[in-house]
């Protein structure tokens, strides 16, 4: 493991926390702004579904990164197959990838889905009795929890069964991103 991964876990945790705080503010502001402009409940549910889906996808990526092996990607990298080098870096930096994907993006999407669900409930129960509000809030909370837990359970199954495929797909996306924006992810990454 590289020295940078264990040098100061407190500093790293504070940095991740600060980054999460800023990212959550941006994501929350954007989703609230969009929801204020949208009057259709169907579109609000679509936004809720997208937020939940993002959390599930990133949770799947985080788990796959920790399960996958870099061995299948070395032959592909030797043949210069796009995404293979990036897949190796994803596996070799599995701790950071899982922390970002599961903790940062996953937790933000969970929090945002709750906020969006609350907005939907408020729109549904305008001028209703307080018992209707409680019932609608309870059902919405249960609905969101069921989607998140069920979706992440399915995602974890895919991540474990097809870890190398998931990581290679992420590697291909990173290769595309690096080529377009000239940014290299995990440039100084060490093997785990």
For 143-165, write each residue's pLDDT tens digit.
999 999 999 999 999 999 999 99
pLDDT at 3: 37
Residues in CB range of 187: below 8 A, 6 or more apart: none
C-alpha to C-alpha distance for 167 and 91, rounded to whole angstroms: 8
| 170 within domain boundaries | yes
Q: For the segment 101-124, what is each residue's pLDDT rounded down to a tens digit?
A: 999 999 899 989 988 898 888 888
- Note the pTM of the prediction, 2 decimals: 0.85
> Which tokens belong to 49?
């579904």
47 sits in which H/E element: helix 41-67
Q: What percent of the chain has pLDDT over 90?
A: 57
The neighbour count for residue 8, using CB atoms within 10 Å, is 10
Q: Which residue has the higher pLDDT, 68 or 31?
A: 68
Q: For the segment 49-76, what is each residue's pLDDT rounded down to a tens digit?
A: 999 999 999 999 999 999 999 999 999 9
| 164 within domain boundaries | yes
| 191 within domain boundaries | no
| 188 within domain boundaries | no
What total number of domains does the chain contain?
Answer: 1
| 190 within domain boundaries | no
| 34 within domain boundaries | yes
| 189 within domain boundaries | no
Q: How confident is the model at residue 166 (pLDDT cuts 50, 70, 90)?
A: very high
| 49 within domain boundaries | yes
Domain that holds residue 24: 3-181
Rounded to the nearest integer, the mean pLDDT of the chain is: 88
């Amino acid at each position: 493991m590289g020295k940078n991964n264990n040098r100061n876990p407190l500093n790293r945790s504070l940095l991740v926390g600060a980054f999460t705080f800023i990212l959550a503010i941006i994501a929350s502001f954007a989703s609230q702004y969009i929801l204020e402009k949208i009057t259709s409940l169907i579109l609000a549910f679509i936004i809720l579904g997208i937020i939940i889906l993002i959390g599930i996808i990133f949770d799947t990526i985080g788990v796959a990164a920790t399960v996958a092996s870099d061995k299948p990607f070395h032959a592909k990298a030797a043949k210069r197959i796009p995404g293979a080098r990036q897949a190796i870096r994803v596996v070799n930096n599995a701790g950071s990838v899982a922390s970002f994907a599961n903790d940062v993006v996953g937790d933000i999407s969970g929090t945002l889905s709750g906020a969006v669900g609350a907005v939907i409930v408020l729109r549904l129960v305008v001028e209703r009795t307080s018992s209707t509000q409680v019932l609608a809030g309870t059902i919405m909370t249960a609905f969101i929890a069921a989607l998140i837990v069920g979706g992440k359970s399915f995602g974890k199954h895919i991540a474990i069964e097809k870890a190398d495929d998931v990581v290679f797909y992420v590697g291909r996306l990173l290769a595309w991103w690096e080529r377009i924006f000239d940014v290299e992810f995990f440039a100084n990454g060490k093997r785990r």
